[in-house]
Amino acid sequence: KNQVEQSPQSLIILEGKNCTLQCNYTVSPFSNLRWYKQDTGRGPVSLTIMTFSENTKSNGRYTATLDADTKQSSLHITASQLSDSASYICVVSPFSGGYNKLIFGAGTRLAVHP
Amino acid sequence: AAGVIQSPRHLIKEKRETATLKCYPIPRHDTVYWYQQGPGQDPQFLISFYEKMQSDKGSIPDRFSAQQFSDYHSELNMSSLELGDSALYFCASSLYQRTSGRALDGELFFGEGSRLTVL
């Protein structure tokens, strides 16, 4: 069983609509949880990073939430744009170890259609 | 703002050849990480450097080696290339969080990646 599971695997929405992506993790204890956006064939771009004590973090139209009790995180995208089409990856850092221990989710592939 | 620069962006090699990938971290970042991402797979950690010294080693084949130079740029050298080495190679950099004593609380910035194709 993956330690970081994301849902849905893929999602299609119309431009201007909102959407929410889910990330469930079993990593414990953990240090922080990150959301990255990755365009096909490009490097991941950091959207948000939250420590275990934070509940929410916003970055423009992106808002991430974290519930450390239920080990769930979500990424909400508001007023989607065509450029939001990408894979969104949830990454969890265990408490011990550095970036060599990052645990990547499989990602949610989002397609925004006009 | 300056980002992590990787070169080349695309590279095509034959089996058994060698390849060198370069990474220029964000200025003042003191840690560099190399990841390999196969098609449809998660990035796999290869190796990392802190202040020009190897800090950790992951699933890096013995055919690969890497180093970080005095100007903090890093190079990943791959020899005796195999078909399975075809992947996206990402470099990432960060600034060690001295206040917490850990690197993992800081932002990790990825480069655009170098796509290696082995024929």
Residues B12-40: what's their mean pLDDT?
A: 92
Closest of A106, A5, A45, A35 to residue B41, by C-alpha:
A106
The pLDDT mean for chain A works out to 90
Establish if B36 touches chain A: CB-CB under 8 angstroms.
Answer: no
For B27-39, the pLDDT digits (tens) are 888 889 999 998 8
Establish if B108 touches chain A: CB-CB under 8 angstroms.
Answer: yes
CA-nearest residue of chain B to A90? B42
User: What's the confidence (pLDDT) of residue A82?
Assistant: 97
Long-range contacts (CB closer than 8 Å, 24 or more residues apart) made by A103-107? A103/A3, A103/A4, A103/A25, A103/A27, A104/A4, A104/B42, A104/B43, A105/A2, A105/A4, A105/A5, A105/A6, A105/A23, A105/A25, A105/B42, A106/A2, A106/A5, A106/A6, A106/A9, A106/B42, A107/A6, A107/A38
Residues A65-84: what's their mean pLDDT?
A: 95
User: What's the confidence (pLDDT) of residue A99?
Assistant: 63
Partner-chain residue, chosen from A45, A99, A100, that has the shortest CB–CB distance to B94: A99
Residues B4-19: what's their mean pLDDT?
A: 96
pLDDT at B5 over 60: yes
Residue B48 with chain A: CB contacts under 8 Å: 98-100
Residue B115 and residue A41: Cβ atoms within 8 Å? yes
User: What's the confidence (pLDDT) of residue B103?
Assistant: 45
Closest of B100, B102, B96, B21 to residue B64, by C-alpha:
B21
Residues A48-60: what's their mean pLDDT?
A: 90
- SS3 at position A81: coil
- Place B1 in a pLDDT band, splitting at 50, 70 and 90: low
Q: Which two tokens stand for residue A37?
A: 């956006």
For B69-116, the pLDDT digits (tens) are 999 999 999 999 999 999 999 999 987 665 455 445 567 889 989 999
Partner-chain residue, chosen from A49, A101, A104, that has the shortest CB–CB distance to B43: A104
User: What's the confidence (pLDDT) of residue B13?
Assistant: 97
The pLDDT mean for chain B works out to 88
